[in-house]
Amino acid sequence: MDTTIAVVGGGTMGAGIAQVAATAGHPVLIYDSGEGACARAIASIRLGLDRMASRGKITREQAEKANDCLAPATSLQELACAGLVIEAIVEQLPAKQELFGKLEDIVSPECILASNTSSISITRIAASLRHPQRLVGMHFFNPVPQMELVEVIRGLASDAAVVQCVHDTALAWGKTPVFASSTPGFIVNRLARPYYAEGLRVLNERASQPATLDAVMRESGGFRMGPFELMDLIGHDINFAVTQSVFQACFNDPRFTPSLIQQELVHAGHLGRKTGRGFYHHGPEHVPPPIEDELPCSTPPVALQIFGSHPLVEVIRKRYKKGHVEYHGARADNLLLKAGPGRLYVTEGRTATQQSYDYDMPDVVLVDLALDYATTSRLAVTRSDQCSPRAYQAVAGVLQACSFALSPMDDVPGMIVMRTVCMLINEAADAVNQGVCSAADADMAMQKGLNYPRGPLEWANAIGVDNVVKVLQRLSATYGEDRYRVSPLLQRLQAAKRKFHE
């Protein structure tokens, strides 16, 4: 650990990177051209180390050793001794190219140059250098000391040995590094786009309100935050700018089309928590908006027929005590239960109304995908326009009797969890198919970088690749948009009857 690490940029990200390197035992030099920026960064790092020691994350001795490793640099020339320089300055291509051009004349030929950029092409940054092979991306996530993920990004000219060295360095620092090629959004910022985009699309179609959709994504989907509260936390200016950047860099691929709803929030200055208003009002005086719950359906016990071995069926078998239950084998139409005239299915990408039409069956109720039906407390439900109140009440009453809170949605294809998860899967499959990353790294990146409850390709295996393809095909048929085109890799796995990671 005697290699000197230099960090250029004393902001939140630069200070976090410097703290991690110092905690690992490296001598660390911090340079920032702003007056007093280095001193502020070192003070912030020392405060962070003290907090970690107070919480037992590291020992007092480790904190003191890390403090001793830190030193400010008053000029770029003082970084000549560094074996690795990590840039964490403003997200502007000219500024980064100018910095690395200067560093080439200062550091040794063996020194590795790394950029913490979250969106700018590593290939493009390196193009202006005399020795582009020694530049790689080393994208950390905020807050750096807590977040495990590091995206190690190889540009077109990046030397394989240099990329591997940066990967191994991040691993030695206790991080979880994943390899990515230099494409728009890398892994996380690319694969995460559908999480916001599908929520915004469902909201635009007035299927429900943000608070209810967020609750369903948390409680049923297992995500730590719903898309609307997460966008409020990130800031709509930042989130919208990243979406625009990926959209434009991908030559206006409709899969990444920005949302007019979010654009309006940005134009209004409603940027989320930092301005006090976004999809939600923020502040001590504001009461959180209510989550829409279906009223109790006081229906008499009905003779219940349940079908197949779907996880939700197994939960109903164990919990439903109100009446006689008949169990039958799986049906070709994937029916889960009959309660009176009502019939319950898991959404397969069509609207309930379309499914009623296709099956020539009026009383169709759909339930959304859940991470784990046995542990979830909430399910989203919708019904066809042809469905009678009596049929809906019967089905909803059974689910409520099984201790599920129900969030009613208007009838949109794929509901909210299913369509979002399938689009996350589709984007991850395309990234793997295009050589952006491996399947394992795609799943690892989304779990470690965004705290997803399950990697998108692990989701595909759980749902079934065939079912994912059907959902996407039906979304595509409904909207008639290239946005929902099915990844060639998904189609290939479907035809081969294979899973990911096999």
Residues forming the active site: 118, 139, 151, 189
Write the DSSP symbol of residue 205: T
In 3D, which of 133, 134, 137 has the Cα closest to residue 122?
137
User: Cα 213 to the chain's mean position, in Å?
Assistant: 16
In 3D, which of 267, 257, 192 has the Cα closest to residue 231?
192
Q: Which tokens belong to 157?
A: 């000219």
The answer to whether the beta carbons of residues 413 and 475 sit under 8 Å apart is yes
Q: How far apart are CA 52 and CA 379, in angstroms?
A: 39
Count of all residues that appear for the chain in the document: 502
Residue 286 CB burial class (10 angstroms; 0-12, 13-18, ≥19): exposed
Write the DSSP symbol of residue 299: P
Q: How far apart are CA 360 and CA 354, in angstroms?
A: 10
What residues contact residue 336 under an 8 Å CB cut-off, 6+ apart? 306, 307, 308, 310, 312, 313, 316, 344, 345, 346, 367
DSSP string covering 132-156: GGGEEEEEE-SSTTT--EEEEEE-T
Residue 321, number of CB atoms within 10 A of its CB: 9
Q: How far apart are CA 451 and CA 372, in angstroms?
A: 17
In 3D, which of 95, 101, 190 has the Cα closest to residue 139?
190
The answer to whether the beta carbons of residues 411 and 382 sit under 8 Å apart is yes
DSSP string covering 447-488: HHHH--SS-HHHHHHHH-HHHHHHHHHHHHHHH--GGGPPPH
Q: Which tokens belong to 80?
A: 């000549």
Write the DSSP symbol of residue 61: H
Helices then strands (H, E): number in the chain? 20, 15
Distance linking the first and last C-alpha atoms of the chain: 38
Q: How far apart are CA 422 and CA 66, in angstroms?
A: 44
